[in-house]
Chain A
């Protein structure tokens, strides 16, 4: 396909890439983030009102993050992605520095040292790391296309492993898991041998096991990881969250209790509902129909990104999109699966839905990157 240059293509080459912008790719994240404002309001306003605070506190902050995210998406989409390859190295370097710094001076939240306090806002470098790891890794693999021998593969793995190592020290196992899938997809698409990939997978497992054994993970994180297997054993502690989460989603039924009418949601029965467990609010208030529609929107983004990977004019574009597809699929599956009790509890947000600025901005940047690749498929 890439070798055929038709007259039609020539005309396309001359047109602005904006003409080829895929609306099915960029509109769903905007819709999802709009829904996130409603659901964050639903899951926080009673608590805030009781504490005599602005019931829109979280909604306003999330709205600011969405605006920043949209700006980031436009910027990332506007700069030709082939130029981003060079620029990404700077971002990668800066990410490494912040990941080191956050371990030293970061704010401790829920047992993990993962954020910077920047005035009224916090920054989570691990979220930004996702984006830059994908770009830099894709860039490296694209240069050596088809020739990922052992040495080069080691370098490629190193590019990902250094920031991942810093992330696991926070410790943030969930983000690493997501990144790992992205890295895998990129390496697979870059032509890494199947046998190398298997070795890599085993290596990843070993590292995770060692991390647990060496006590890098806190006991509560291990509990969270294992409790999903026996959720009724101890509802008071780690499995409590997941049990309440399932009840809340189940309470929604086919059509849901109606927006802002969720009994479990209003009563704050699900801890962390506005962040990692935001899907439960959707489940209870909008029911199966609403939740399935939300999942369909995610699936739409995944499909269009997958398509972008396939039609990309070069390997770098393909690798970027493949990495993002893999990360998005895994993050949605892990987050939603966790709220429905089929995945262990790891603290990762639902893209564009969960409260949290860094995640929203980075995921808009990611979709910006995919849009970038997608609309420049003819150039």
Chain B
């Protein structure tokens, strides 16, 4: 080889060497230096994760009856990878087999809530004969599989509703806000179910369990090649409520009966218009006063949770949000705010006794009208009825407004400085739990309102500002006036309470002074039913009971005395079994709110402390004695194991 040839051969060698060098360097860069980045890309390319939903825990009543549970349902699924024309044929055959329109099946096939890598369920609750037909002719249905999936079920009430609809709530597909709010560790994904209301919402983390997941390796066309890993789902725990479904059922039915009946009655107070009572909404609350636990809680109108399970239709959603439907989703027992009317006299009496303004024996001559000295404004009893000489017990029994107007007026005078947070009247109301959410584990609880000078000032100023100056709003007044205390004394004016707050205040009185945080869940059980966690009742405070006996006597008279406001409704009850207080709250522009709070036993028999508090409230439902007292009476029958009679309302007659 000549020298020049050697040089040229060496050049070829050097070129070869450097080209191989480049290859080695690039190989090192791809596989070692940035290998993890490419490994991640490969994983994204080939690995698909399919969520395995966990069976949701059940919700049980106090005796262990299932109120909400996951039920296995026979489902037919179609492989999403099935292509036309096979797909069209299969869908057509399924449509004939199941009697479901092709369009419905197509829609479910396109449902984005189901993972693209999981077969799409196209029919739930497939009847047995259709399943048999399918399994005999499987070859006619390529890509179709019969599976068992869990479907949420709710026990039914008697009104076309699910029992305790407002307490249990319902589940639905998670929305954007909920996804954002959920902690990362909870691992929610679009399409997951989540509790939307009631216990389903507040106990979501307990009931849900932990979803499992399946990692699948897929090829470039999305076909599943193999299962890489499976993490089994952990079933959710069960929640046992304090609710008794038998009492709940009676409460719901009784409320409906009372509302139905008063709706047929003419409203005498409206002489110019021939109208009947609207009575389009109401609530019943039953508390165990000894523990603060909720025995029953009904809200009307109500709905059926089962309708939410597979997603509700647009028309149903419109109905639920239409004012004419009166918002069935609203739990009026905890979210509704109402003037308590005369039921508030519990607080006024306690405050008056505390301040020394009254004693149990102090007698007032009730002429039917109350007037402050040097004041022309008159405050009257209903129909200005005169009750003559009344002491505390009598005033409660006959519901003498004049007796309590005086207490309110005295509170006004005693607090000349008009402390922003009010007098002993307001603070006693707060002691009974008014003006603050009770803390029951149900969503959307309202706090109610105890009106005081500070509140009225800011409210009045805001009103004036909205109207555009004091001249434009002559009735707007930011100052706390005698009438505010006088009205508050009889639960009128700006006082607002939720039915649960009011029932809870009576429970505190009934049990001897302990204000509980109302309790709805009793314990958490594991999926096999073993107790995991007991939920104990929590005392939130104490209420003073300066003259318990006199007041008990007064409340007892309400249901037993010939002049008692609710005696007509409790004729069938043995003496000493039931006590209570009626309330009839005036509402601006609306018919009166009918309220009754009772407790049983009455507490008059020694050794028998009141145990249950039952409250009924009917919006635009006439007198407390007319509608709510009979509703409460029927629930009391159930609580006392008496034979149930239908609700008989006592419509007000002229001059009553």
For the complex, what is the distance from the CA of A299 to the CA of B21, rounded to whole Å?
10
For the complex, what is the distance from the CA of A123 to the CA of B27, rounded to whole Å?
33
Check: A344 CB closer than 8 A to any chain B CB.
no
- B15 to chain A: which residues have CB within 8 Å? 329
Q: How large is the interface on A (under 10, 10 to 19, 20 to 34, 35 or more residues)?
A: 35 or more
Check: A348 CB closer than 8 A to any chain B CB.
no
User: Across the interface, do B22 and A342 meet the contact criterion of CB distance under 8 Å?
Assistant: yes
User: Across the interface, do A325 and B12 meet the contact criterion of CB distance under 8 Å?
Assistant: yes
User: Across the interface, do B22 and A337 meet the contact criterion of CB distance under 8 Å?
Assistant: yes
Within 8 A of B (CB), among A209-257: 244, 246-254
Check: B313 CB closer than 8 A to any chain A CB.
no
User: Across the interface, do A253 and B1 meet the contact criterion of CB distance under 8 Å?
Assistant: no
Complex interface: stretch among B66-74, B182-190, B217-225, B640-648: B217-225
* B19 partner, pick from A266, A269, A329, beta carbons under 8 A: A329
For the complex, what is the distance from the CA of A306 to the CA of B17, rounded to whole Å?
11
Complex interface: stretch among A89-97, A101-109, A184-192, A356-364: A184-192
Closest to A47 in B: B219
**Given that A246-B30, A295-B24 are contacting pairs, would A329 and B219 also be in contact in the complex, using a CB cutoff of 8 Å?**
no
For the complex, what is the distance from the CA of A253 to the CA of B38, rounded to whole Å?
9
Within 8 A of A (CB), among B1-16: 1, 4-6, 8-9, 11-13, 15-16
- B275 to chain A: which residues have CB within 8 Å? none
- B24 to chain A: which residues have CB within 8 Å? 292, 295
- A318 to chain B: which residues have CB within 8 Å? 1, 5, 9
User: Across the interface, do B23 and A337 meet the contact criterion of CB distance under 8 Å?
Assistant: yes
- A46 to chain B: which residues have CB within 8 Å? 219, 225
User: Across the interface, do A295 and B20 meet the contact criterion of CB distance under 8 Å?
Assistant: yes
Complex interface: stretch among A12-20, A168-176, A283-291, A366-374: A283-291
User: Across the interface, do A342 and B1 meet the contact criterion of CB distance under 8 Å?
Assistant: no
For the complex, what is the distance from the CA of A287 to the CA of B9, rounded to whole Å?
33
Within 8 A of B (CB), among A295-313: 295, 298-299, 302, 306, 309-310, 312
For the complex, what is the distance from the CA of A316 to the CA of B223, rounded to whole Å?
56
Check: B39 CB closer than 8 A to any chain A CB.
yes
User: Across the interface, do A329 and B38 meet the contact criterion of CB distance under 8 Å?
Assistant: no
Check: A1 CB closer than 8 A to any chain B CB.
yes
Q: Whole-angstrom distance from the CB of A122 to the nearest CB of chain B?
A: 25
User: Across the interface, do B27 and A250 meet the contact criterion of CB distance under 8 Å?
Assistant: no
Number of B positions contacting A (CB below 8 A): 40
**Given that A302-B16, A306-B12 are contacting pairs, would A253 and B39 also be in contact in the complex, using a CB cutoff of 8 Å?**
yes
- B9 to chain A: which residues have CB within 8 Å? 189, 306, 309-310, 318, 322
User: Across the interface, do A337 and B26 meet the contact criterion of CB distance under 8 Å?
Assistant: yes
Interface centre among B24, B36, B218 (most CB of A within 10 A): B24
Check: A320 CB closer than 8 A to any chain B CB.
no
Check: A275 CB closer than 8 A to any chain B CB.
no
Closest to B4 in A: A191
Check: B31 CB closer than 8 A to any chain A CB.
yes
User: Across the interface, do B23 and A269 meet the contact criterion of CB distance under 8 Å?
Assistant: no
- B1 to chain A: which residues have CB within 8 Å? 1-2, 310, 312, 318
For the complex, what is the distance from the CA of A345 to the CA of B455, rounded to whole Å?
79
Check: B205 CB closer than 8 A to any chain A CB.
no
Check: B653 CB closer than 8 A to any chain A CB.
no
Interface centre among A263, A287, A330, A332 (most CB of B within 10 A): A263
Check: B34 CB closer than 8 A to any chain A CB.
yes
Check: A379 CB closer than 8 A to any chain B CB.
no
User: Across the interface, do A247 and B31 meet the contact criterion of CB distance under 8 Å?
Assistant: no
User: Across the interface, do B16 and A325 meet the contact criterion of CB distance under 8 Å?
Assistant: yes
Interface centre among A250, A292, A306 (most CB of B within 10 A): A250
Check: B416 CB closer than 8 A to any chain A CB.
no
Contact with B along A36-61 (1 / 0, CB 8 A): 00000000001000100000000000
- B417 to chain A: which residues have CB within 8 Å? none
Q: Whole-angstrom distance from the CB of B37 to the nearest CB of chain A?
A: 7
Contact with A along B16-52 (1 / 0, CB 8 A): 1001101110111011101111110111011100000
For the complex, what is the distance from the CA of A276 to the CA of B47, rounded to whole Å?
26
Within 8 A of B (CB), among A48-86: 50
* B6 partner, pick from A287, A310, A332, A336, beta carbons under 8 A: A310
- B46 to chain A: which residues have CB within 8 Å? 263-264, 267, 269
User: Across the interface, do B27 and A288 meet the contact criterion of CB distance under 8 Å?
Assistant: yes
Q: Whole-angstrom distance from the CB of A5 to the nearest CB of chain B?
A: 16
- A342 to chain B: which residues have CB within 8 Å? 22, 26
Check: A140 CB closer than 8 A to any chain B CB.
no
* A267 partner, pick from B19, B23, B26, B225, beta carbons under 8 A: B225
For the complex, what is the distance from the CA of A298 to the CA of B23, rounded to whole Å?
12
For the complex, what is the distance from the CA of A309 to the CA of B15, rounded to whole Å?
15
For the complex, what is the distance from the CA of A312 to the CA of B1, rounded to whole Å?
8
- B5 to chain A: which residues have CB within 8 Å? 189, 191, 318
Check: A142 CB closer than 8 A to any chain B CB.
no
Check: A340 CB closer than 8 A to any chain B CB.
yes
Q: Whole-angstrom distance from the CB of B477 to the nearest CB of chain A?
A: 71
For the complex, what is the distance from the CA of A264 to the CA of B42, rounded to whole Å?
6
User: Across the interface, do A322 and B31 meet the contact criterion of CB distance under 8 Å?
Assistant: no
* B23 partner, pick from A185, A264, A340, beta carbons under 8 A: A340
User: Across the interface, do B16 and A250 meet the contact criterion of CB distance under 8 Å?
Assistant: no
Check: A326 CB closer than 8 A to any chain B CB.
yes
Q: Whole-angstrom distance from the CB of B219 to the nearest CB of chain A?
A: 4
Q: Whole-angstrom distance from the CB of A370 to the nearest CB of chain B?
A: 14
Closest to B43 in A: A263
**Given that A189-B5, A247-B38, A251-B39 are contacting pairs, would A283 and B20 also be in contact in the complex, using a CB cutoff of 8 Å?**
no
- B37 to chain A: which residues have CB within 8 Å? 250
Check: A346 CB closer than 8 A to any chain B CB.
no
**Given that A291-B27, A329-B15, A333-B22 are contacting pairs, would A50 and B223 also be in contact in the complex, using a CB cutoff of 8 Å?**
yes
User: Across the interface, do A249 and B12 meet the contact criterion of CB distance under 8 Å?
Assistant: no
Closest to A302 in B: B16
For the complex, what is the distance from the CA of A246 to the CA of B41, rounded to whole Å?
10
- A244 to chain B: which residues have CB within 8 Å? 45
Q: Whole-angstrom distance from the CB of B35 to the nearest CB of chain A?
A: 4
Q: Whole-angstrom distance from the CB of B555 to the nearest CB of chain A?
A: 77
- A326 to chain B: which residues have CB within 8 Å? 12
- What are 30 A-B interface contacts by the 8 Å CB criterion? A46-B219, A189-B5, A189-B8, A249-B31, A250-B38, A251-B35, A253-B31, A253-B32, A263-B42, A263-B47, A266-B217, A267-B45, A269-B42, A284-B42, A287-B31, A288-B31, A288-B35, A291-B27, A295-B20, A306-B9, A306-B13, A318-B1, A318-B9, A325-B12, A329-B19, A332-B23, A337-B22, A337-B23, A340-B23, A340-B26
Q: A263-B46, A340-B30 are in contact. List 20 more A-B contacts (CB 8 A).
A: A1-B1, A191-B5, A247-B42, A249-B31, A249-B38, A250-B30, A250-B37, A250-B38, A250-B39, A254-B35, A264-B42, A266-B225, A267-B45, A267-B218, A267-B219, A268-B219, A309-B9, A333-B23, A340-B27, A342-B22
Instruction: Enumerate chain A interface residues (CB-CB to B < 8 A).
Output: 1-2, 46, 50, 185, 188-189, 191, 244, 246-254, 263-264, 266-269, 283-284, 287-288, 291-292, 295, 298-299, 302, 306, 309-310, 312, 318, 322, 325-326, 329-330, 332-333, 336-337, 340, 342
Q: Which 7 A-B pairs have the closest CB atoms?
A: A250-B38, A251-B42, A267-B219, A288-B31, A253-B35, A333-B19, A329-B16
